[in-house]
Amino acid sequence: MRWVVFNQKGGVGKSTIVCNLAAISSRKGRRTLVVDLDPQGNSSQYLLGREAAAVAKPHLGTFFEESLGLGLFRRSLREMVHPTPIPNLDVLPSSPELEALQGKLETRHKIMKLRAALDELLEYETVYLDTPPAFGFYTLSALIAADRCLIPFDCDEFSRRALYALLESLQEVKEDHNPGLEVAGIVVNQFQSRANLPRQLVDELVAEGLPILMPFISSSVKVRESHHAACPLVILEPSHKLSREFEALHGALEKPRRATKRAPAKN
C-alpha cells in the first residue's frame, strides 16, 4: 500500500505524520519506505539526521535528473534508497536539487516516472510519500503513485477554507490520472482539546460528513524534541501520549472508517 500525505499548507505536520506512521509500520515487521519529495527534506532529516541527510547520495534528485537523461548513468530507484537506523525502514532522501529540476520535468512530461519506478520495488509492503507544501510536479507525481491519501488538518480557519479546494484537486487527480486514488481521511493534527476553536472546527467538519479520522493527534513540544533527536517520537518515547495516538491512528488506517464522535471535550 502506498500512502501520500498531502496538504498545500505548510507547517501542518506532514513529515511528522509520515515518519511516525512509517516507523510504526516497520516496527510491525513490514518492509517500509519513505519517499521524501519535499526539497526541504524534513523527512530525510527526521530519519537520517541533518548531517547524514545532507550528504546522502544518490537521492531523489539523482533519480529525476537521470530520468531527464542528464546523468552519466541510469540507475534503478532501488539504488537510491538508504537505510535508516530503524530496522525495516528505508528512505529515498530528498535534495535541494529538486527545486531546479522541477521546471524541466514539467516541460518534459515526466509525471508518471515515479509511479513506474515504485512499481518495481516489490520488496516494500508499505510506502509513505511526503510532499511539498504546494500543488506542483512533485505533489502530483506522489498523488499519481499513491493508493491512499491522508490530509493533515491543523485546526485553523485558513486550513478549513483551503480544505474544500484541496479535496476538489484530489478528485481531479483521481479522474484525470489515478482512478485508484482514495482519500483515506483527514488527520486532525496539533489538536488542543482545551481550546474552543479547534473543537468547534472539527465538530463542524464531522457534521459536514468529511472523513475525519480518529484519534486526533495532540499538540506537544515532544514532537519538536523528536525532530531534534532525528528519531520518530514513537521510537524515541513509545509510551508518550502522542506515540499512543499515532499507534491508534495507524490501527484505524488498517481498518478505515469515518469518525462518528464529536471532538473530545475539555479536560
110-135 residue pLDDT tens: 999 999 999 999 999 999 999 999 89
Q: Check if the beta carbon of residue 129 is closer than 8 Å to that of residue 37.
A: yes
pLDDT digits 0-9 by tens, 222-233: 999 999 999 999
Domains of the chain, earliest start first:
2-254 (3.40.50.300)
Mean residue pLDDT of the chain comes to 91
Q: What's the length of the chain? A: 267
CA distance 16 to 56: 20
Which cell goes with 171?
478528485
Which cell goes with 212?
475525519
* Residue for grid cell 541510469: 74
Helix (H, G, I), strand (E, B) or coil at 155: coil
Q: Check if the beta carbon of residue 170 is closer than 8 Å to that of residue 149.
A: yes
Which pairs from 205-208 meet CB under 8 Å and 24+ separation?
Answer: 205/153, 205/160, 205/163, 206/259, 206/260, 206/261, 206/262, 206/263
Which cell goes with 151?
490530509
pLDDT digits 0-9 by tens, 64-106: 999 998 766 678 999 999 999 999 999 999 999 999 999 999 9
pLDDT digits 0-9 by tens, 28-65: 999 999 999 999 999 999 999 999 999 999 999 999 99
Ranges of beta strands (E only) in 97-242 are 126-130, 148-153, 182-188
pLDDT digits 0-9 by tens, 244-265: 999 999 999 987 544 434 444 4
What is the pLDDT confidence band of residue 194, given thresholds at 50, 70 and 90?
confident
